Amino acid sequence: MKKEENVGTLLGIPQEEMAILLQVTRGQWSMFLSGKRSLPTAAVLKLTEMLTIVKEAETQEPHAAALKEEEARIKKYLEEEIIINQHKQRLAADQLERCKKRYQSAQNAVKIADALIAKKQQTHTWQEELLPLIKSNAQDVLKKNSLLVQEQYTLKLLVLQQEEVVLTERLLRK
Q: What is the pTM (predicted TM-score) of this model?
A: 0.60
Range of the domain at 47: 2-59
Note whether 39 and 108 are same-domain residues: no
Domain total in the chain? 2
Q: Using an 8 Å Cβ cutoff, are 38 and 44 in contact? A: yes
Note whether 82 and 135 are same-domain residues: yes
- CA pair distance 156, 168, nearest whole angstrom: 18
Q: At what angle do helices 41-59 and 2-11 cross, to 10 degrees?
A: 60
Q: In degrees rounded to 5, what are phi and psi of residue 35?
A: 85, 15
The residue from 59, 75, 102 where one domain ends is 59
pLDDT of residue 4: 46
Task: Report pLDDT digits (tens) over 62-114.
Answer: 677 778 889 999 999 999 999 999 999 999 999 999 999 999 999 999 999 88
Task: Report pLDDT digits (tens) over 149-170.
Answer: 999 999 999 999 999 999 999 9
**Buried/exposed code over 85-117 (b: 16+ C-beta within 10 A; e: otherwise):** beebbeebbebbeebbebbeebeebbeebeebe
Note whether 33 and 98 are same-domain residues: no
- CA pair distance 84, 92, nearest whole angstrom: 12
pLDDT of residue 128: 76
